[in-house]
Each structure stands twice: as structure tokens, then as C-alpha cells.
Amino acid sequence: MRVATESRSFNGDVHCGDQCDWWLEDDTLTLCMIDGLGHGKPAEEAAKAAIDYVSCHLQESLGTLFSGCDKAIRQTRGVAMSIARIDQNEGSLEYGGIGNTRTMICGEKSSNLPSSWGIVGGGFRHLHIERANISQDDLLIMWTDGIPENITISSYDSYMLQDEQQLAKKILDDHGRMTDDATILVYLKG
């Protein structure tokens, strides 16, 4: 298991509203992508409040986790958020997302994982939970809207696809918009 992240703030600002983190407890890996609405210090404060909440509630179901975070960060401007939980032994994935973060599995069976409409911290109506399997050598890629929705992983050579840190940096360099914060997380099951 390998995880890599890369971030870039809008206009070189010291504050970045796009944050991500990951935690491994027993055999469960939790990956979290957050996009604080807007950019600058208020967006960063919202994103960090969401990350803090998630880190303290890793044992909760995704539905309870999203609902609790929604209530806990109401005083902020809110966030788009996605969480993927991977059972390392079984290779099973559970995913939920609210707002415009993006997640895809790249491998023998590639797929995009959808997010539900809404804002965490501003209310949302429904969280759709997606389940999938992660095979050996599959990539899971999560990113914020500072990177376009559709990226083509097949354009990267096989060496790059085996080096998660270089892949994360290259995708951000190739596709990151200069008009927004941007963050990407790459997980390689390998």
C-alpha cells in the first residue's frame, strides 16, 4: 500500500482550501479529500475543521461521519468532501462524496465514483454510498475541482503508473488550474 499527495494553492497563497489526509487503522485505510469553498484562509479553516472531525470519528459509518461533520463545521463556509475506506485484506472499497471532489479507480476495471449534490457544513440531502473492489496494482485517485473532472490516466507511461508520488505531481503539473486551489491523492494497492 502506497499513498501520495500533492497540493497547490491559488496564486501561491500561503493558505490552501484544498486538503487531504489518510489514516490506517488495523486493516482499514481511510482516504479523505476536502475542498473548502472558495480559497484563502476561510477555505483552509473549513477544510482543516473537516479533516479534524474525520480524524476523530474514523470508526463511524460513512453516513454518520458525513452527518456529524456537516453539523460540526456549520460555523465555516463549508466543504466538498469525499471519503474512501478500503479493507486492505478483502480489497473492498466503500465510498461516499458530497460536492465536486472527484474519485476514480484505474485498473483492469476502471470506474468513476459519483458524489452526491450538496455542501458539508451547509446541509446536504442525501449521501449515496458506493461499493467496489480494489485489485492488486489498481490505482485510486481522488482530486479537487482545481483539476478538471476528466483526466486521462492512460496517457501516462507504465513507469509513472507505478510511482504514485511522481504520478500525483505530474497530474497536478499537467492539469492543475492556476485559478483555484488544487489537491490530488493517489493510492496504489500494489
pLDDT in tens, 102-135: 999 998 888 999 999 999 999 899 999 999 999 8
DSSP letters, 29-57, are: EEEEEEEESSSSHHHHHHHHHHHHHHHH-
Written as one letter, the residue type at 28 is: T
State percent of the chain over pLDDT 70.
Answer: 99
Q: Give the per-residue pLDDT at 30.
A: 98
If 0-12 CB within 10 Å is exposed, 13-18 middle and 19+ buried, where does residue 14 land?
Answer: exposed
Q: Are 18 and 181 in contact (CB under 8 A)?
A: yes
Number of residues written out for the chain: 190
CA distance 88 to 99: 27
Q: Give the per-residue pLDDT at 12.
A: 85
Helix pair 41-56, 62-72: axis angle to 10 deg: 140
CA distance 2 to 126: 31
Q: Are 6 and 184 in contact (CB under 8 A)?
A: yes
Q: Give the per-residue pLDDT at 58.
A: 97
How many C-beta atoms lie closer than 10 Å to residue 69's C-beta? 25
